[in-house]
Amino acid sequence: MRIALVYPPTSELDIKGYSLGLAYLCASLNKRHEVDVYNYNGKEFNKSIRLFLSSIKIKKPDLVGISFNSFNRQGAFKLLKQIKKIDKKIFVVLGGVHPATLYVQIFKYFYNDVDFIIQSEGEISLPMLCQALETGGELSLISGLVYKDKSGGIIANRVSNLVKNLDDLPLPDYSYVAEEIKQKEIGYLITSRGCPVNCERAYEFSGKNRGRS
């Protein structure tokens, strides 16, 4: 299967760097699939949209995976509104914090543009989804997968398969940003999973403040 993974641009914040998540996904997929990775973090918004859609027209992937957070959701929305216009047969899969949390809203507004949303860890669920699409396998067995049933309804599988030992995952494939890492002499590495800026504690603190006001 030919796969395109993309991290969309944002017009809201000036954020540099690259998505480490795509490096993990690429490493989990590239042994069995042909994977192209597109990182538009910190790149010019409209130009990035044009470049990616042009690449899709040329390379014609079987599946496009869009990973995004809330701050770059508008870039993701612009992409997914166009992909099916290029080829209706392309599977469109969304992942990341924003679609995983707001999958009901995403399907409400982009029902015909999106095929799947992954709430669980993509390194496990996305390769399973690709295999199921190739072989006609059972979608209900894929952890955290959200998809449409035959009647047009939405099914959200339970998140049942989380990685307990991160050493079980393949090392991230940084090849798509190798030149950037070489030039800047800076690479990213995480040693655990979860919010790196203590979001839960910040939420609790803000909640307590609201209660006092």
- How do residues 22-81 score in pLDDT, each as one tens digit? 998 999 999 899 999 999 988 999 999 999 999 999 999 999 999 999 999 999 999 999
Taking the C-alpha atoms of residue 91 and residue 117, their distance in angstroms, rounded to an integer, is 11
Whether residue 96 contacts residue 119, with contact meaning beta carbons closer than 8 Å, is answered with no
Residue 199 pLDDT exceeds 50: yes
Whether residue 185 contacts residue 169, with contact meaning beta carbons closer than 8 Å, is answered with no
Where residue 165 falls among pLDDT bands split at 50, 70, 90?
Answer: confident
Q: Where are the domains of the chain?
A: 2-212
**Average pLDDT, integer, range 128-140:** 96
Q: For the chain, state the CA radius of gyration.
A: 18
Residue 136 pLDDT exceeds 80: yes
Q: The domain 2-212: what is its CATH number?
A: 3.40.50.2300
- Residue 40 is predicted with a pLDDT of 93
Please, what sign has the CA dihedral across residues 180, 184, 190, 194?
Answer: negative
